[in-house]
Amino acid sequence: MASRRFFVGGNWKMNGTRESLAELMTHLNTSNLHEQTEVVCGAPFVYLDLVRSGLDPRIGVAAQNCYKVSRGAFTGEISPAMIKDCGVDWVILGHSERRHVFGETDELIGQKVAHALENDLAVIACIGEKLEEREAGTTEEVVFAQTQVIAENVKDWTKVVLAYEPVWAIGTGQTASPDQAQEVHHKLRAWLRTNVSDDVADSVRIIYGGSVTSLNCRELASQADVDGFLVGGASLKPEFVDIINARA
């Protein structure tokens, strides 16, 4: 655990204006953020330039999605090359909203992961089960299958963060208990050990997402296999700093 740098991502989703994001960036830039924690903020596409130029360089910026090719007749999409051209180094892929609202398949997400990594974008790759899947006892089956497709498209794991986000806990106020989060993270690490390598299992950061707040972040962060968070709504609020400092 000590060798894996704590990672906190903020997924701003389809939120923010120039004015509100300027206020948020000022708050982050002037706050005392734990030096050992890596922080990355996922901004809406139209604000990537604004956010990258406005945030302190110590804070990374992510796009919230990208397509699987470099250019072409794909109206409404953006490419890893465009993201890099904005000075941005990260992308969030496979988020449950992309899967379940926009119908992205495991195969498409895998193709996006491969293309992003080929273009030197680091990837926050999201996996997670829906409520009915957890209730049916198929959590492991679902997250292992999602992870398998991602793993098939990764050559360099140093540029990948795996985000476990139980869909039933995103934006609902429900959170997986620390024990529930740790159990899935532990099993994911064991899966990586069996199916990828010991080195990857020991080094890759597996972060938790799903209604993380300043109230529950410290207990979640204390779990051996929880290496950080992907934070939704709370990343737009002052309490995001408390979550960043969960291990301080």
Residue that wins the pLDDT comparison between 50 and 173: 50
What does DSSP say about strands 90-93 and 122-127: parallel, antiparallel, or unpaired?
parallel
Asked if residue 217 has pLDDT above 90, the reply is yes
Determine the residue type at 192. Answer: L
Catalytic residue among 95, 97, 129, 185: 95
Percentage of the residues of the chain whose pLDDT score is greater than 90: 94
Report helix, strand or coil for 226. Answer: coil
CA atoms within 13 A on the CB side of 51: 27
The model's pLDDT over 175-210, given as tens digits with 9 standing for 90+, comes to 889 999 999 999 999 999 999 999 999 999 999 999
Mean of pLDDT values over 106-119? 98
| CA gap 8, 216 in Å, rounded | 14
The model's pLDDT over 130-171, given as tens digits with 9 standing for 90+, comes to 999 999 999 999 999 999 999 999 999 999 999 999 998 888
Residue 95 among the catalytic residues = yes
Give the pLDDT of residue 1: 46
pTM, two decimals, is: 0.97
> What fold is seen in the domain 7-244?
TIM Barrel (3.20.20)
| CA gap 248, 245 in Å, rounded | 5
Q: In the beta sheet, which residues pair with residue 161?
A: 124, 205
Residue 165 among the catalytic residues = yes
| CA gap 55, 62 in Å, rounded | 12
Catalytic residue among 38, 133, 165, 185: 165
Q: Where along the chain do its domains lie?
A: 7-244
Work out the number of other CB atoms within 10 angstroms of the CB of residue 177.
12
pLDDT class for 26, splitting at 50, 70, 90? very high
